[in-house]
Amino acid sequence: MADIVDIAVNTDGFKTLVTAVQVANLVETLKSPGPFTVFAPNDAAFAQLPPGTIQTLVQNIPQLRRILTFHVVPGKWMKADLEQVSSLTSVEGSPITINLADGFEVKNATVLTADIEADNGVIHVLDRVILMG
């Protein structure tokens, strides 16, 4: 089985996320043993951001790192595990709300694909980029 980064690199739809992780110098972190749960926005999710947002973030590495680490939670949380909680604390330090009452939602995003297992955790694919606050 591959790690979180290798899965993202080799899966269509994560080009923007992979580039952002590389620019923010988070590749080694996400290749470490973890385990991590990554709520991974796909390319279409990044495309929904206001024009110029991605370019601004690439030029502001601390802010980019904050946003990316907000999408990561320590531990391996499969969808079934998340049914027992209403929120988790991200690596960034802010809470992320979890709602499985009507589908599978993480903050203001819908999970498109859940439980993509990796050697060092699990990926849940999001339809939106989630932001702190």
Element (H, E) at 28: helix 27-31
Which tens digits make up the pLDDT trace of 29-86? 999 999 999 999 999 999 999 999 999 999 999 999 999 999 999 999 999 999 999 9
Q: pLDDT-derived band of residue 109, with 50, 70 and 90 as boundaries?
A: very high
CATH of segment(s) 4-126 = 2.30.180.10
* pLDDT number for residue 1: 86
67: Cβ contacts below 8 Å, ≥ 6 apart: 57, 92, 129, 131, 132
Q: What is the reported pTM? A: 0.96
